[in-house]
Structure 1
Amino acid sequence: MAETRLSTFQGIVMYQREHKERDLLVKILTREFGKKMFFVKNGKSKKNRLTAELQPLMQATYEGTINFNGLSFIDDVKAIHLARSFMEDIELNAYGTYLLGLIDSAFVDNQPLTTWFDLAQLGLEKIEHGFDPQGIANYFELALLPAFGLEMNWSQCAICGRSDLPLDFSDQYHGVLCQNHFQVDDQRWQIDPKAMLVLSKFSQISLNQLGSLKLKAKTKQEMARLMNHIYDDQVGIHLKSKTFIQQLDNWQDRLGRRQTSTLEKGKQNDD
C-alpha cells in the first residue's frame, strides 16, 4: 500500500489543538481511513480559510493528502454540516464531544472504522434531533465495552438465563443477575429496574432502531451511576468531556435546589 494518497473522504472533526505558535493539529474521524491527525499550517490565523471549517463536531467532505505514517494534510472542505444546536447548547456540545472522545480512546489511529464512523454520525444526528443526549452517550458507552476488552451480558441472568425478572448488575459475573440469584453476589449493583431495562434494550438493538428516546431524571441518574462505575473502575478512563458533563449536572442540580428554596421562601412570606 502506498504511504501517501490524494483522496476525497468524509470526516467528523474530533478535536483540534495548538501546534507551535501559528499552526493547528486537527484530529478527524474519517470514514475511509479511521482516525487521522491533520496538520493545518497557520491554522490559528483568522485569514486561513480552513480554520472556520475545522471546528469540533463539524462534518464535511474533505480533499487532501492522506499519509499512512505521520501527519496528513487538508486542501479543501466541502458539504459542511455543523448543527446549530451544538453551537448554541453547551450541554449538547459536551455530549457530542464525549461520544467522539470514547471512540478516540477505544481505537488506535489509522485503523479503518467505517462502522463506528457511521454510528458516530447517526449518534450526533439523533442528539441534534432531540434524542436524550445522555441516553445516546450511554448507548455508546455500552456498545464500546468490547472494544475496551470487556464482554458483558446485559440481556439475561448470568446464572439461569432468565430475562423476565428484575435484574441487578454484577461485576463478579460480568453482567446481570435476576432476583432469584441476587444472593450469589452481595456486592452487586442494585440499579433501578427501569434503568436496567433501558440498558438491556440498548445491548440488543441497533442505534437506528431507536425511534425516540425520552428518559426520566431518576432513570438517567441510575444509568449514569452504573456506567460511570464501569468506565472509572473497569475500563479505567475518565475523559475531560465527561468531567465537564458531571460539573454541568452538579451546577444544574444546585440551581434547581436554589430555585426551589426561593419559591418556598416566597410562599412562606405570602402566608
Structure 2
Amino acid sequence: MLHSVQGIVIRSMDYGEGNKIIRLFTPELGKVGVMARGAKKLKSKHGAVTQLFTYGDFVFYKQRGQMGSLNGAEIIDAHHALREDLYKSAYASYLAEMTDRMLGDEEGNNYIFEQLKAGLMAIEEDKDMQIVTHLYEMKMFDLAGYLPITDACVSCGETTGITSFSPNMGGTLCSRCRFKDASTIPIGEGAHKLLRLFPRMDMRRLGSVQVKDETKEQLKRCMRTYMDVHIGVQWKSRGFIEQMEKYNI
C-alpha cells in the first residue's frame, strides 16, 4: 500500500553499502520503519531527507507487517542547527529516543507528533533545552500511564505546604508526609509550580522562560529519578547529556 504522510526522522542508520533504514514518526501511522535505497550514495536524492530530525513529506510503499520502501520525499524543515550544535543535538536526540522507545510501532498519535515537532523547533530557537526536555518527559509519562501527582500531596491530598517530590510514591509530598519516604527530593515553590504546570502545558505555546539555576537543578533530580524509577530505560542520549554536565563540556 502506498502512503503519503508527513513525518519526522527519529532514527537513521546505515544498511549495507549504500542504503539507509530510517524510522519515521507520523501522526497517522505512528512509528514506521522505511528503507531508503541508495541514500548513502553521494548524488542520492534521498540523502538529505534521511538525516536525523528531518521533518518532511514522505511517500513510501509498505505492506502490512513489512518494512516500507521510500519512493520520494520533500523536506519541510531540515533542522540543520540541531545536528550542527553538540548541545542541541544531544537534547534533540533525547526527545527522538524517548519517542522511539516509548511508543509502540504503528501507534498513531497526532498530539505527541505535534509536541515533538514543537519541541525540536523550541530547541532550535534557543529556548531552554532542559525545560523543553522536562516538558516532553511529562508528555511521555502521561502516555505511558505514569503521570506523577503534582497538584496535591500524593499521600494525604493536601494542596498546600508541598515541600518535596517522591519518585517512589509517585508525586509531591507535603511537609507533614515527607517523612514517609526517606529518599524524597526537596523542592522549592518554583520547582513545584513547574511540576504542576508541565502536564497541562502545550509545547506549541512555550515561550522564553527564565528559570533559576536552583529550580532547574531540583527539576532535573525529580524528573530523572522519576524516569529511572518508573520507566527503567538506559537512555543513550541522556547518558551523553550527563557526561557533558559532569565534565562541563
Tell me whether the two structures share a fold, i.e. TM-score over 0.5.
yes
Would you say the 8 A contact 2:153–2:162 is kept in 1?
no
State the 1:53 CA deviation.
1.8
Q: Which residue matches 1:111?
A: 107
Would you say the 8 A contact 1:131–1:214 is kept in 2?
no
Provide the aligned C-alpha RMSD in A: 2.0
| From 207, 213, 220, the counterpart of 1:217 | 213
| From 181, 190, 196, the counterpart of 1:194 | 190
Instruction: Kindly indicate whether residue 34 of structure 2 is the aligned counterpart of residue 38 of structure 1.
Output: yes
Instruction: Kindly indicate whether residue 132 of structure 2 is the aligned counterpart of residue 136 of structure 1.
Output: yes
SS at match of 2:70: strand
The structure-2 alpha-carbon separation of the partners of 1:23 and 1:83, relative to structure 1 and needing over 3 Å to count, comes to closer
1:251-270 to structure 2, matched below 5 A, reads: 251-252=247-248
SS at match of 1:67: coil
Instruction: Kindly indicate whether residue 16 of structure 2 is the aligned counterpart of residue 12 of structure 1.
Output: no
Moved over 4 A (4+): none
State the 1:192 CA deviation.
4.0
SS at match of 1:94: helix
State the 1:168 CA deviation.
0.9
State the 1:78 CA deviation.
1.6
State the 1:137 CA deviation.
0.7
Q: Which residue matches 1:246?
A: 242
Letter in 1 for 2:153: C
Q: Which residue matches 1:121?
A: 117
Q: Which residue matches 2:60?
A: 64
Letter in 2 for 1:222: Q
Deviates more, 1:10-19 or 1:163-172: 163-172
Unpaired runs of at least 5, structure 2: none
Would you say the 8 A contact 2:123–2:129 is kept in 1?
yes
State the 1:139 CA deviation.
0.9
- How many aligned residue pairs are there? 249
Provide the C-alpha distance between the structure 2 equivalents of 1:116 and 1:68, rounded to a whole number of angstroms: 23
The structure-2 alpha-carbon separation of the partners of 1:165 and 1:204, relative to structure 1 and needing over 3 Å to count, comes to farther
SS at match of 2:83: helix
The structure-2 alpha-carbon separation of the partners of 1:151 and 1:80, relative to structure 1 and needing over 3 Å to count, comes to closer
State the 1:68 CA deviation.
3.0
Would you say the 8 A contact 1:57–1:82 is kept in 2?
yes
SS at match of 1:158: coil
Would you say the 8 A contact 1:155–1:201 is kept in 2?
no
Q: Which residue matches 2:199?
A: 203
Residue by residue over 1:184-213, the C-alpha shift from the partner in whole angstroms, topping out at 9 and shown as x without a partner, is 333322234422321221123332343332
SS at match of 1:52: coil
- Larger fraction in helix: 1
Structure showing greater Rg? 1
| From 93, 96, 102, the counterpart of 1:97 | 93
Letter in 2 for 1:36: V
Letter in 1 for 2:73: V
SS at match of 1:153: coil
Letter in 2 for 1:126: A
The structure-2 alpha-carbon separation of the partners of 1:210 and 1:93, relative to structure 1 and needing over 3 Å to count, comes to same
Provide the C-alpha distance between the structure 1 equivalents of 2:188 and 2:97, rounded to a whole number of angstroms: 28
Provide the C-alpha distance between the structure 2 equivalents of 1:144 and 1:247, rounded to a whole number of angstroms: 23
Letter in 2 for 1:164: T
Would you say the 8 A contact 1:68–1:110 is kept in 2?
no
State the 1:172 CA deviation.
4.4
Provide the C-alpha distance between the structure 2 equivalents of 1:51 and 1:172, rounded to a whole number of angstroms: 45
Unpaired runs of at least 5, structure 1: 256-271
Instruction: Kindly indicate whether residue 165 of structure 2 is the aligned counterpart of residue 169 of structure 1.
Output: yes
The structure-2 alpha-carbon separation of the partners of 1:71 and 1:120, relative to structure 1 and needing over 3 Å to count, comes to same
State the 1:61 CA deviation.
0.9
The structure-2 alpha-carbon separation of the partners of 1:134 and 1:172, relative to structure 1 and needing over 3 Å to count, comes to closer
Q: Which residue matches 1:145?
A: 141
Instruction: Kindly indicate whether residue 82 of structure 2 is the aligned counterpart of residue 86 of structure 1.
Output: yes
Q: Could you tell me the TM-score, scaled by structure 1's length?
A: 0.84
Q: Which residue matches 1:267?
A: none
